[in-house]
Amino acid sequence: MKIAVAARKRNDMYVVEPVFGRADMFVIVEKGGDARVVQENPYRDDPEAAGRKVAQWLIKEGVNTVLCGDVGAKTRLYLSEGGIFSGIGYDGTVDDALKRYFAS
């Protein structure tokens, strides 16, 4: 299972980004593994449909779950059709979000 957490870096910490498509980066974690990959969001500044483009990119990356503050309705549908679960309502650090997700 691959989890992508929408994030931004603040004071040398990765924190959950409230807006999925406009996240600065994604911290990608494999369940059960300690390895993390930080990938810049190539669509952050696209003038339109950034969420859809990010969804397509994460589907190609083999991501199964996305954690973030919120996802737009169209993007959530697109993620769902691609087999990705959208975990919304997350905030705080990326580590806190992952702990909360694994505890649920």
The 8-class DSSP code of residue 104 comes to -
Q: What is the pLDDT of residue 34?
A: 72
CATH of residue 32: 3.30.420.130
- Domain containing 42: what range? 2-103
Instruction: Count structural domains, the chain.
Output: 1
SS3 43: coil
Q: pTM here?
A: 0.93
pLDDT, position 33: 60
The sign of the CA dihedral 82, 21, 87, 99 is: positive
pLDDT in tens, 37-64: 999 999 999 888 899 999 999 999 999 9
Structure tokens given for 68: 């973030």
Q: Kindly give the pairing relationship between strand 2-10 and strand 65-67.
A: parallel
pLDDT under 70: residue ranges of the chain: 32-33
